[in-house]
């Protein structure tokens, strides 16, 4: 059956072991986590987990229900079919050969990225945007010799009028 | 008032109405045991292995319709509870398990008898806690009991570092539990209930399928009323036995891999299934594609994850079984008073009930008792007759469990106590002790096999020491019978590691522990041995040397459709 990507925004109690409960639920029931991002919120004792998971449509219902069943999970919001803003952050370290430097700077400019570290032989580029933007810039930079990438998972919030 | 953590623990357990706990001491809980010795209201039953404590607490909870409590030490004491906790988790039994832990300052240092029991039991508890601050102890215990018994019940574990239980602190009565993230939905959607009434009205071949959720929500009266009002036959899962009277003409027997022919055929042919408190376990459904192929399915469950998990249902109802069934009955009453004729079911069920009767007549549960060798089924039938169906039956796991389920007809809920989901050998004896502790006036019988009784045989000493009299019926076939049966049917009779020919003398074993032991080897003596053993004071082992290679039938081979049964 066809699998889709789902974007879940989960509010949880900020307590030790909560991430382990969620990770354990996914591994124990054979669900997949594609990316995960966890941080505190404006409310004390509450954290937000933003998760991308890939699965079949009927499995996502079970995932959402199982997540909600965890005592430390407060809300599970499926943003997939809603209007939302989504960002992920990446640092890309790339070979900066003299003949390529101008090309790299042009790509950085087009994608509105930043160069955050400059060395004799490489640049480190900071990229912020949705996952398509990340895929696109990586595709362009790849031929020039990406040395390494560090990337966060997606974070997302529903827009003011969240319904599509 | 200043109390130590240990005193708070005892106070909070008593406040929950629990009068008996099961446990085993050790270094990390020595303060709690000291406090237990200095009070007289909370009874502590000393088991002989921590696994036994949890199974006993499990059965106590079921027999008493309350929460079971176990108390063990850190490290190995804690890990020994895992099987019991996992069993209670799969059977949704309300338990609170207290484990000792090394002092907070040593946690994470690989200290003596340290284990991360919260980490280990995360996937097999409803929730668990490590208490790091004695000020939070009372509220944590209150919350744990609330979680254990509300919504879909389950086991909750509280890990107690040694310094927490030893520290005196000002006791403040904890507030009522209110969790923003946990609000079980008891009240079913009324529109859905109304839909069920319409479905019942339209149905020609309805069946009620009751599970453990009916027992847990104490809804057997509602199941019975619905069945009788709308003339609907009833089947149950292993966990649901007793939800509907086993002696009623509308009773179909158990469903599933070792279900009765008529129950399985009814599911295969029904056009409406009202499933209450069930989770459609694979042992019930067999091949899911061929399960109730022509039925519209109504599923009532308090746990939303149970719905649409294994099987698609047309009418899901999230809510308490008792409330939902009572709601359906009420709606039916209102609608039928407006239009009595279309709610008179007696006539139009005839064809369906005749068909079921035919299945029952042509293919009943059967065995042939000759004059030489005892058939295990015969022992259970006689046990049923002699106890008039009034005993609480606990079981081990395997053939003994299935024969008890098939041949002892449970008229009341909370009388059949078995490890249904996890299938734990060694469950029955400690469970019998727990059930008897909860219901001292009841006769409690553990139906055991010669293999599984040896898995927690040490609990005989617990029964003797605590004067908790249980009766143990061992069906001794000198095999791990259920595995042997699979080997016979599917592995060309290669009886690999299933022979139990080398076994202790169970009569002498009983005597060694201070119990009484009886042995029966001839069919003609079954009744008299049972009768004598059940009448004896104290704990009694009755060993029945039964047919070595008797198998449990009907049997649905794993993965087969439940209507395709091996019959002999």
Residues of B in contact with A30 (CB under 8 A): none
A58 vs B449, higher pLDDT: B449
Mutation to test the A interface, candidates B182, B306, B312, most A Cβ within 10 Å: B182
Residue B341 has pLDDT above 90, yes or no: no
Output Rg (C-alpha) for chain B, integer angstroms.
Answer: 24
Q: Each residue of B253-292: pLDDT tens digit?
A: 999 999 999 999 999 999 999 999 999 999 999 999 999 9
The reported pLDDT for the residue numbered B344 is 80
Q: What CATH number does the domain located at B190-362 have?
A: 3.40.50.1220
Residues in chain A within 8 Å Cβ distance of B303: 69
CA angle B46, B509, B422 (to 5 degrees): 60
Mean pLDDT of A26-44: 94
Read off φ and ψ for residue B343, nearest 5 degrees.
-110, 20
pLDDT at B339 over 90: no
B254 closest CA partner among B240, B265, B268: B240
**Nearest CA distance, A44 vs chain B (angstrom):** 14
The full set of domain ranges for chain A reads: 4-82, 84-157
Residues 116-145 of A with CB under 8 A from B: none
Separation in Å, CA of B392 to nearest CA in chain A: 33
Residue A74 is nearest to which of B118, B122, B181, comparing CB atoms? B181
pLDDT band for position B568 (50/70/90)? confident
The confidence score (pLDDT) of residue B435 equals 98
A60 contacts on B by Cβ (under 8 Å)? none
Residue of B152, B305, B309, B310 for testing the chain A interface, max A β-carbons within 10 Å: B305
Neighbours of B198 (CB within 10 A): 12
Q: What pLDDT is stored for residue B298 in this prediction?
A: 98
- DSSP secondary structure, B332-344, as one string: HHHHHHHSGGGG-
Residue B152's closest chain A neighbor by CA? A69
Residues of B in contact with A76 (CB under 8 A): none
Does the annotation count B239 as an active-site position?
A: no
Contact B118, A19 (CB under 8 A): no
Could you tell me which residues are beta bridge partners of residue A92? A125, A149
Residues B508-539: pLDDT tens digits?
A: 999 999 999 999 999 999 999 999 999 999 99
Whole-number average pLDDT of chain B: 97
- Tell me whether residues A71 and B182 touch, CB distance under 8 A: yes
Task: Please check the confidence at residue A1 and state whether its pLDDT lies above 90.
Answer: no
Tell me, what's the pLDDT at A49? Answer: 97
Minimal-distance CA residue of chain B relative to A27: B123
A65·B305 Cβ contact <8 A: yes
pLDDT in tens, B292-305: 999 999 999 999 99
pLDDT band at A162 (very low <50, low <70, confident <90, very high): confident
Q: What is the pLDDT of residue B278?
A: 97
DSSP B565: -
The 3-class SS string of B511-561 reads HHHCCEEEEECCHHHHHHHHHHHHHCCCCEEEEEEECCCCCCCCECCCCCE
Q: What is the pLDDT, as a whole number, of residue A87?
A: 96
Closest residue on chain A to B156 (Cα) = A71
Domain over A84-157 is classified CATH 3.40.50.300: no
C-beta atoms of A71 and B180 within 8 A: no
Mean pLDDT on A39-62? 94
Work out the pLDDT band at B347, boundaries 50, 70, 90.
Answer: confident
Whether A71 and B308 lie within 8 Å, measured CB to CB:
no
B445-499 pLDDT, tens digit per residue, is: 999 999 999 999 999 999 999 999 999 999 999 999 999 999 999 999 999 999 9
Instruction: State the SS3 of B179-201.
Output: CCCCCCCCCCCHHHHHHHHHHHH
* Res A68 pLDDT > 90: yes
Comparing CB atoms, the residue among A17, A62, A72 nearest residue B309 is A62
Interface of B with A (CB under 8 A): 118-119, 122-123, 126-127, 130, 147, 179-182, 303-305, 308-309
Is B162 a known active-site residue? Answer: yes
Q: What angle do CA B7, B13, B19 make, to 5 degrees?
A: 115
* Whether residue B378 lies in the annotated active site: no
Q: Tell me the nearest-neighbour CA distance from A11 into chain B, angstroms.
A: 9
Contact A64, B304 (CB under 8 A): no
- Is B565 annotated in the active site? no
Residues on chain B touching A69 (C-beta within 8 angstroms): 303-305
Which of B122, B136, B184 is the mutation pick for testing A, counting most A CBs within 10 A? Answer: B122
C-alpha distances (whole Å) from A20 to each of A25, B305, B364, B432, B491 are 8, 20, 50, 36, 41
Count of H helices and E strands in chain A? 4, 9
Question: pLDDT tens digit string along B3-31?
Answer: 999 999 999 999 999 999 999 999 999 99
Contact A65 B304 (CB under 8 A): yes
Q: Quick check: B345 pLDDT over 90?
A: no
Q: Which of residues 13-32 of A touch B (CB under 8 A)?
A: 13, 16-17, 20-21, 24-25, 28
Q: Give alpha helix (H) positions in B374-518.
A: 376-387, 399-407, 428-438, 459-465, 481-490, 506-513
pLDDT of residue A58: 85
User: Is A68 an interface residue toward B (CB < 8 Å)?
Assistant: yes
Q: What is the ipTM of this complex?
A: 0.91
Q: Does the beta carbon of A71 lie under 8 angstroms from any beta carbon of chain B?
A: yes
Average pLDDT over residues B404-418: 98
Catalytic residue among B11, B126, B142, B162: B162
Q: Which residues of B touch A65 (CB under 8 A)?
A: 304-305
> What's the confidence (pLDDT) of residue B510?
98
d(CA B278, CA B147): 20
Nearest CA-CA distance, residue B19 and chain A, Å: 28
Q: pLDDT for B192-248, tens place per residue? A: 999 999 999 999 999 999 999 999 999 999 999 999 999 999 999 999 999 999 999
Residues from chain B contacting residue A21 (CB–CB below 8 Å)? 122
The confidence score (pLDDT) of residue B74 equals 98
To the nearest whole Å, the CA of B123 is away from the closest chain A CA by: 7
Do residues B157 and B124 make contact, with C-beta atoms less than 8 angstroms apart? no
Selecting among B482, B542, B555, B565, the annotated active-site residue is B482
Using CB atoms, which residue from A17, A25, A73 is nearest to B181?
Answer: A73
* Interchain proximity B181–A24, CB inside 8 Å: no
Q: Which CATH superfamily is domain B2-170 in?
A: Thiamin diphosphate (ThDP)-binding fold, Pyr/PP domains (3.40.50.970)
Residue B340 banded pLDDT, cuts 50, 70, 90: confident
Local confidence band at B60 (pLDDT 50, 70, 90 cut-offs)? very high
pLDDT at A23: 95
> Is the CB of A1 inside 8 Å of chain B's CB atoms?
no
Smallest CA–CA distance, residue A9 to chain B, in Å, is 15
**Domain A4-82 matches domain A84-157 at the CATH topology level:** yes
Q: For testing the chain B interface, which of A20, A56, A71 should be mutated: the one with the most B CBs within 10 Å?
A: A71
Domain chopping of chain B, boundaries: 2-170, 190-362, 376-545
CB pair distance less than 8 Å for A20 and B127? no
- CA B432/CA B447 separation, integer angstroms: 9
What are the pLDDT digits (tens) for B353-404?
A: 999 999 999 999 999 999 999 999 999 999 999 999 999 999 999 999 999 9
Question: Of B50, B143, B459, B543, which residue is the catalytic one?
Answer: B50
3-state secondary structure of A94: strand
A-chain residue closest to B302, CA distance: A69
Which superfamily, per CATH, for B376-545?
Answer: Thiamin diphosphate (ThDP)-binding fold, Pyr/PP domains (3.40.50.970)
**H or E, element range at B228:** helix B220-230
Q: Do the domains at B2-170 and B190-362 have one common CATH topology?
A: yes
Q: How far apart are CA B196 and CA B191, in angstroms?
A: 9
pLDDT digits (tens, 9 = 90+) for B94-121: 999 999 999 999 999 999 999 999 999 9
B50 has catalytic annotation: yes
Give DSSP secondary structure letters for B28-65.
GGHHHHHHHHT-SSSEEEE-SSHHHHHHHHHHHHHHHT
Strands B20-23 and B43-46: parallel
* Topology given in CATH for the domain delimited by A4-82: Alpha-Beta Plaits (3.30.70)
């Amino acid at each position: 059956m066809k699998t889709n990507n789902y974007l879940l925004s989960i509010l949880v109690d900020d307590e030790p072991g909560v991430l382990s409960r969620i990770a354990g639920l996914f591994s124990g029931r054979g669900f997949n986590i594609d990316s995960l991002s966890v941080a505190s919120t404006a409310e004390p004792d509450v954290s937000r987990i933003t998760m991308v998971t890939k699965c079949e449509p009927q499995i996502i219902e079970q995932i959402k229900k199982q997540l909600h069943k965890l005592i430390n999970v407060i809300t599970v919001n499926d943003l997939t079919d809603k209007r939302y803003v989504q960002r992920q952050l990446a640092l890309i370290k790339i070979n900066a050969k003299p003949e390529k430097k101008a090309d790299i700077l042009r790509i950085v400019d087009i994608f509105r990225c930043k160069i955050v570290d400059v060395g004799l032989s490489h640049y480190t580029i900071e990229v912020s945007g949705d996952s398509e933007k990340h895929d696109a810039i990586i595709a362009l930079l790849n031929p020039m010799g990406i040395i390494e990438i560090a990337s966060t998972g997606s974070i997302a919030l529903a827009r003011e009028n969240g319904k599509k | 008032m200043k109390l130590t953590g240990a005193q708070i623990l005892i106070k909070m357990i008593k406040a929950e109405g629990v009068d008996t706990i099961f446990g085993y001491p050790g270094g990390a809980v020595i303060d709690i045991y000291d406090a237990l010795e200095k009070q007289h209201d909370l009874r502590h039953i000393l088991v002989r292995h921590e696994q036994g404590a949890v199974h006993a607490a499990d059965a106590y909870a079921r027999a008493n319709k309350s929460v079971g409590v176990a108390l063990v030490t850190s490290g190995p004491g804690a890990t020994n509870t895992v099987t019991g906790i996992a069993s209670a988790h799969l059977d949704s039994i309300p338990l609170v398990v207290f484990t000792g832990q090394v002092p907070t300052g040593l946690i994470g240092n690989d200290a003596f008898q340290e284990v991360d029991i919260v980490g280990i039991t995360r996937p097999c508890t409803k929730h668990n806690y490590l208490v790091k601050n004695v000020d939070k102890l009372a509220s944590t215990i209150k919350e744990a009991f609330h979680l254990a018994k509300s919504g879909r019940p389950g086991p909750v574990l509280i890990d107690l570092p040694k310094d927490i239980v030893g520290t005196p602190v000002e006791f403040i009565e904890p507030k009522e539990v209110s969790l923003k993230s946990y609000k079980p939905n008891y009240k079913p959607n009324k529109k859905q209930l109304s839909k069920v009434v319409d479905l019942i009205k339209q149905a020609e071949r309805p069946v009620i399928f009751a599970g453990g959720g009916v027992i847990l929500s104490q809804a057997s009266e509602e199941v019975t009323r619905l069945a009788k009002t709308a003339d609907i036959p009833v089947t149950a899962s292993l966990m649901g036995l007793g939800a509907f009277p086993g002696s009623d003409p509308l009773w179909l027997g158990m469903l599933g891999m070792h279900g009765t022919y008529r129950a399985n055929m009814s599911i295969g042919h029904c056009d409406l299934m009202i499933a209450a408190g069930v989770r459609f376990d694979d042992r019930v459904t067999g091949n899911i594609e061929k399960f109730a192929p022509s039925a519209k399915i109504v599923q009532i469950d308090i746990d939303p994850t149970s719905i649409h998990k294994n099987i698609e249902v047309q009418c899901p109802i999230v809510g308490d079984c008792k409330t939902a069934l009572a709601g359906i009955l009420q709606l039916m009453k209102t609608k039928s008073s407006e239009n009595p004729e279309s709610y008179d079911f007696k006539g139009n069920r005839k064809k369906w009930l005749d068909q079921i009767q035919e299945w029952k007549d042509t293919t009943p549960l059967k065995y042939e008792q000759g004059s030489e060798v005892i058939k295990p089924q015969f022992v259970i039938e006689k046990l049923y007759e002699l106890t008039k169906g009034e005993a609480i039956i606990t079981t081990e796991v395997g053939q003994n469990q299935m024969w008890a389920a098939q041949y002892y007809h449970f008229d009341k809920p909370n009388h059949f106590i078995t490890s249904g989901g996890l299938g734990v050998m060694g469950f029955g004896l400690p469970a019998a002790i727990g059930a008897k502790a909860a219901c001292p006036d009841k006769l409690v019988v553990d139906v055991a096999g010669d293999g599984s009784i040896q898995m927690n045989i040490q609990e005989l000493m617990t029964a003797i020491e605590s004067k908790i009299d249980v009766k143990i019926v061992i069906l001794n076939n000198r095999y791990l019978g259920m595995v042997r049966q699979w080997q016979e049917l599917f592995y060309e009779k290669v009886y690999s590691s299933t022979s139990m020919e080398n076994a202790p003398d169970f009569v002498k074993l009983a005597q060694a522990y201070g119990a009484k032991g009886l042995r029966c080897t001839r069919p003609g003596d079954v009744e008299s041995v049972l009768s004598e053993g059940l009448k004896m004071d104290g704990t009694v082992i009755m060993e029945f040397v039964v047919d070595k290679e008797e198998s449990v039938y009907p049997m649905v081979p794993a993965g087969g459709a439940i209507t395709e049964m091996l019959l002999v």
